[in-house]
Structure 1
Amino acid sequence: MLFIAGCARSPGSYPPPAQSPPPPPLEGSALLSFIEMNAADAPAYIVRDIGPAVEGGLWRWARQRPAIRAAVPATDRFRFVMDFVIPDATAKGGPVTIAFAVNGHILDTVRYTTPGRKNFETAAPPALLRAGEIAILTAVPDKTVRSSDGEELSLLMISAGFKP
């Protein structure tokens, strides 16, 4: 039998990269139905495409497909509400159309012809939601702008969620 062995220097050891703690779990009565983007616990509700920094003391930049999670209220009648700003830069290319959805079901598509602060509200269909579950709320604009660092930005998110 022939055995071949080789000598090689083992790679040096390196510490693991710094880890950020995961967002706190969203459980029980601690769940919020409506999230203000300037709240300290807002990052725990962000699913994707919403910036980490609060700017102007009120809002966070949204990218191409912003989404948050929110608790479905224990009531039969509630509305999906979103407050946001369409920046001048985003509206510069013409009207901005935004598709608003809950759990992937488009509730409405709205065409905005002017920049500025906007409020979207629509009845949340009870057939799609059950009290106590966590719903994913999205607002997908058809236009974005490229920031100076190359990031695709769309809206300024102020708040979103369910209200009675």
Structure 2
Amino acid sequence: MIAAARLVEAASRLAGRATVVVVTVMTVVMTVALVLQVVFRYAFGQALSWSEELALLMFTWTVLLAGSLGVREGFHVALTLLPDRLGPAGRRWLERLILLLVTGFGTYLARSGWEFYDGTTGQLSAAVGYPIEFLHSAAMVSGGLVTLHGLARLLATFGPPAEARP
């Protein structure tokens, strides 16, 4: 079990690093597309036909991928009223339950994303003309990453507490 947990953690760490790079690049592309849209509209009186669609594509992927990073890094907002009232053992079991639910949600998101992706296969975006599956695969990929990161964090709760780890 320990070897499997290490493998899942290594995959989660690698996926997390790659996700940071992809989110950064997509954020830059989105920002450039929006700046160009504003410049062309107000400086030249011509709206670009592709910039809004590209920005929406980048925004969708960025939000969903960054959400998966939130699971990996644990930076989502959390209410601590109940965990603060529990002892260390109770807190650990509550954390496991929450991570199990998060992992289940990621699996559901990936499966639902696949169904949506599959149902829209063959369509093209209106302005740019890219395969619409690229937009619709964001939920599937994000769900897979949420599942991976949630599972890695869940398995880590069965090792020594974070305070005891070197």
TM-score (norm 2): 0.23
TM-score (norm 1): 0.24
